[in-house]
Each structure stands twice: as structure tokens, then as C-alpha cells.
Structure 1
């Protein structure tokens, strides 16, 4: 078992380097195109893996990888997702309630208009007038 340990370590290192090479963003790959690095790591397992680790991928600290957002309670949020002060539930938000009333009034007006149109059409049919949608009666 101890005899196979170097082989298993080299295999694990090769698999790690291959997967790291495949999943590395294109902008972090240095000196050669990403496809060339994948082929090198695949064809030359030990040498290619060491080369990939040493020079192939740009290595930065975690601090350098983070975006330079301003500090504060809205740090890290895009402008359209930034929290806006105290959040209210919809049933406590006066703007939301007012919009519901406006929408409700608009729908009520639309319903009254439709009912009036329906009554007018029914009266026209009772009086025997021609229906403009169907044309003159035969």
C-alpha cells in the first residue's frame, strides 16, 4: 500500500490540476490559451500539472479577488438591488395601498363601461336594430 502512495498522490495532483485548468476563467489563464494548457496538462500529467500550478494560472489572494465596493450598509449591492431604508410589508406600505385603490377604481370604471355597453347592445337587440358586428338581419 505504501508503495502505491506516490502514484496516488501524483494522480490526485494531476486530476486536481486538470479540473482547475478546465474551470479556470479565461481571464485568469496566463502565457498560453486555455486550450493549450488543457492539452499540456492532459498529455504530460506531472510536468504539465506542475507548469500549470507554477505559471499557468494567475494566483491572487482572496482579498485581491473581491470587488472594490465602498464600505457601508449597501456595500456589495448593485444600484438596482440596494436596500432603501426601512423595508415595509406590503400591507403597511401607504404607496402600495394607494396603488391598489387606484387599480381597483380603474377596474371598477372599466367594469361599469362594459356593463353599460352590454345593456346598450341588449336594448338594441330587443328593439330589433341591426347588430353592427353581425350585419343587417335577413
Structure 2
């Protein structure tokens, strides 16, 4: 029995989060605020109604940027001891001075 309660709570939270994060213009059949009230006041039935009648159809844009879509950061400057050309030149100069 506690497992059923947890499943209902998880379903309710999923539907509530989905309603809240859906843009206002994409909610179907009713205004978004009314959908929030329906899901809050009738957890199971409201969630089912939301999924069948209110949730937007078709692909939704991602809520978060994927790694490949993020703007790339400029490469951080290297220190002289991280530059192999600098180290080769330094080694050559030290041998030439001896």
C-alpha cells in the first residue's frame, strides 16, 4: 500500500511540474492557471486529464541546452611551463649558454 501512495505522489508531482513548466500559450483546451488548479485539487484525475487533454502535442523544445549546443568558451591562456615550444626553446637556450 505505501508503494501505491508513492507512485501516486510521483505521478502527481510529475504532472504538476509538467503543467508549471509548460509555456502558457502551449497549454491546450484551458488556460494554464486552470490546469494547475485542476492538477492540484484532483491529483490522480487532474493528472490524467492534463496528460490527455491539456499537455501540448508534438515535440517540445529542450528545457536545457545540450552539451553540443552550448557556446564554446575560449581556450584558457597557457602558462609558459605548459607550452612545449617554449620549453624546447628554453632547453636549447640553456644548453647554448653552457
TM-score by length of structure 2 reads: 0.58
Match of 1:49 in 2: 47
Counterpart of 1:40 (choices 38, 46, 49) is 38
Match of 2:26 in 1: 28
- Counterparts of 1:61-100 in structure 2, within 5 Å, are 61=59
Match of 2:7 in 1: 9
Residue segments in structure 1 that go unaligned for 5+ positions in a row: 67-138
Would you say how many aligned residue pairs link Structure 1 and Structure 2?
62
Residue segments in structure 2 that go unaligned for 5+ positions in a row: 63-98
The superposition leaves residues 20-63 of structure 1 with CA deviations (integer Å, 9 ceiling, x where unpaired) of 1011011210000000000000000000000001111112136x
Aligned-pair distance for 1:18?
0.5
CA RMSD of aligned residues (A): 1.6
Tell me the distance in 2 between the aligned counterparts of 1:19 and 1:13. Answer: 10
**Which structure has the greater CA radius of gyration?**
1
